[in-house]
Amino acid sequence: MSDKIDCYKITVRLMIALYCRHNHSTGKNNGIAVCSECMELKNYSEMKLDSCIFGEGKPACSKCTIHCYKPLMREKIKTVMKYSGPRMLFKHPVISARYLYQKLK
């Protein structure tokens, strides 16, 4: 597992948790408060990150030429990112800065 993939996984987990906490009623799952729908999205996202064909050279998903997400899951993760992205700067500034650095690299 690469440091870059791990960074993306942590970021996605936090973004989904932030979105779910403010948009769904939640329960505790694996230490992150998310509903079953968001847990499914988290698991799906992590599976896709683990199986990314680019590995260590993985670009940011928004810059990727291969869209590996199913259309429904892609819409869900876009919704989560639109909501959570700006809020991450205040809730998790260090992780946000690291993610942005990786994205711009």
Q: When comparing pLDDT for 47 and 32, which is higher?
A: 47
Residue 99 has pLDDT above 80, yes or no: no
For the chain, the C-alpha Rg in angstroms (whole number) is 13
In angstroms, the CA 73 to CA 53 distance is: 19
Nearest partner of 96 among 11, 4, 16, judged by Cα: 11
Residue 101 has pLDDT above 90, yes or no: no
Mean pLDDT, the chain, rounded, equals: 86
Its pTM stands at 0.84
For the segment 14-34, the average pLDDT, to the nearest whole number, is: 77
Weakest mean pLDDT among 4-8, 30-34, 52-56: 30-34
- Say what the pLDDT of residue 47 is: 96
